[in-house]
Amino acid sequence: MVLGTTSGAGKSWLTTALCRHYARMGLKVAPFKAQNMSNNARVVDGGEIGSAQYFQALAAQAEPEVRMNPLLLKPEADTRSQVVLMGQVNEALSSMPWRGRSLHVWPQIAAALDALREENDVVVIEGAGSPAEINLHASDIVNMRVARHAQARCLLVTDIDRGGAFAHLYGTWALLPAEERALIHGFVLNKFRGDASLLAPAPQMLQDLTGVPTVATLPMWWQHGLPEEDGVFDDRTRASGAVGKTVTVIAYPRISNLDEFQPLKNVPGVRLVWARTPADCAGADWLVLPGSKATAADLAWLRAQGLDRAVAAHAAQGGAVLGVCGGLQMLGEALIDTHGIDGNAPGLGLLPLVTQFDLQKTVRHTHTAFGALHGAWAALSGVAAAGYEIHHGQTAQHPAMAAGGDVAREVLPGLGWQNAAGNVLGVYLHGLFEDPRVLHALFGATAPTLETVFNGLADFIETHFEPGVLDQLIAP
């Protein structure tokens, strides 16, 4: 099990790396995270799970499934989340006070974990946040309760780049009860920059205090190739090679599925920028409105920041605009919600479409092909594409505007529309930039494959962990 002293310490990518390492040994491997709080989700058989567990399953060379992330919390506001249990939205749990959920969900979490342990040689478990949040310990269902249940051998990873790493490690260990401390088998220093020999004598001093060795010092690695977990993304803007196109993604508070833009970081000549203000949009070739878990609320935020005017100005000047899922809905004329799912709101009016929110949630894999496009998106004409849908809204042409001649061109059957000028495109299909056919059509290039990324992660930890540690973690 991989635990962290904080969120963002490196649990997700290290879990992914371990999954690939053990799979390369010829073992049958599965990932597991009891509860994930994230608006980044993927479609699997039986519903949806957190994106991190989806990628971990692929790294483990296993079929992603709902047991790998039995509980997914999708934040809709600071004090409210949609609860997805075993892949399906559970309205009763969503309306229940969060401290009361543990009793109801633990049996299914434990059963999922036990089944995976029975069916696999190795299960690599990811914790959440910190296991030493003493205000949460009594209702814990994702950290040490899971570790105790499985008697997992735990690694505790910390982000040394933040400073205070040894205090984080010692403090986390010290706050755990003795039976849980005994499960910590190694400390991992992540994101180290400089000469590792200068760390001495701190690792030995820490081992003298705790009995736990420091088993790896992992160098800072900016571009390991995995998308950022949750909403904690890297704000640095980079390009692979000389910049030929700047893709600016609006980063609203409830952005969802931001991981689908990861491949753009590795396309030669493309610079990816996250925008929270109109100034961040300066110099953009494309403006992208991504998915949202709270479309009406994020649209209100976008207007409060003045980003609506920035998007409108960019479009008026002929600049390319792309809306994905919630972003597509925002580009239309109106959001209509008669069921209290998301909220009513006027849209940005860049596409003559209306979205109505349904009680039934669409969650599915989709294989389709673009029809004829023109203008900024003409390169996609006839291109086959595969991705996934996760949305409550259903979108259609605005009847009154269609009667007046303002018609959106349907370019993906029931899933995508383009304006008459050709520069504004809205689609429901997530994962476009993960499809090599789409990347090649738009940029004439491809990004590294996931297999390359997973093997690179495994190579990295095999190089930097102390010899024999990875074998000891799974020894009988």
Which residue, among 422, 257, 259, 402, has the nearest Cα to 325 in the 3D structure?
257
Residue type, 156: L
Helices 450-464 and 51-59: crossing angle in degrees, nearest 10, is 80
| Radius of gyration for the alpha carbons in the chain, expressed in angstroms and rounded | 23
Burial label for 140, CB within 10 Å (0-12, 13-18, 19+), is buried
From the list 325, 391, 398, 464, the catalytic residue is 325
| Residue 339 is among the residues annotated as catalytic for this protein | no
d(CA 41, CA 330): 20
Could you give phi then psi for residue 19, rounded to 5 degrees? -60, -45
**Residue 120 to residues 25, 32, 123, 231, 232: CA-CA distances in angstroms?**
13, 12, 7, 31, 31
Question: What SS3 state is found at 159?
Answer: strand
| Residue 430 is among the residues annotated as catalytic for this protein | yes
Which residue, among 29, 72, 32, has the nearest Cα to 48 in the 3D structure?
72
Question: What SS3 state is found at 128?
Answer: coil
Q: Which residue has 């401390």 as its token pair?
A: 181
Cβ atoms within 10 Å of 123's Cβ, excluding its own:
24
From the list 314, 391, 430, 464, the catalytic residue is 430
Find all residues with CB under 8 Å of 249, minimum gap 6, and list them. Answer: 258, 261, 272, 273, 274, 275, 288, 290
Q: Which of the residues are catalytic?
A: 325, 430
